[in-house]
Amino acid sequence: MALTDFFDQCRIGGKAIYIVVDHHKALAAWAIERRKLASAPYLLTIDHHTDTDEAFRGYVCMSAYEDSSVDEDALAAELIAAIDWSSDESLTEAIGKLRHDEHIHAATKSGTLNASFSIQLSDQSGYVEPNENGIYVVPHKCAIGCLKKVYDDECVVHHALEIIESPYLDDQLRRIGDITQGLGLPNIESLPYILDIDLDAFHSIKAVNPDDASTFRRLIRGALAITIATEPEWVKEVWEDEHNEPSADQLLTAVLGHIEEACKL
Residues that bind Zn ion (CB under 5 A): 142, 146, 148, 155
Q: Which is nearer to Zn ion, 12 or 144 (CB)?
A: 144
How far apart are alpha carbons 253 and 241 in whole angstroms?
17
CB of 158 to Zn ion, least distance (A): 6
Q: Give CB contacts under 8 A, 24+ apart, made by 129-137.
A: 131/52, 133/105, 133/108, 133/109, 134/108, 135/52, 135/104, 135/105, 135/108, 136/176, 136/179, 137/50, 137/52
Kind and range of the H or E run holding 233:
helix 232-238
CB of 180 to Zn ion, least distance (A): 27
CB of 157 to Zn ion, least distance (A): 9
Q: Which is nearer to Zn ion, 114 or 204 (CB)?
A: 204
Q: Which is nearer to Zn ion, 161 or 164 (CB)?
A: 161
CB of 17 to Zn ion, least distance (A): 33
Q: Which is nearer to Zn ion, 148 or 264 (CB)?
A: 148
Which of 256, 264, 209 is closest to 9 using CA atoms? 256
Which of 215, 214, 198, 209 is closest to 241 using CA atoms? 209
Q: Which is nearer to Zn ion, 91 or 142 (CB)?
A: 142
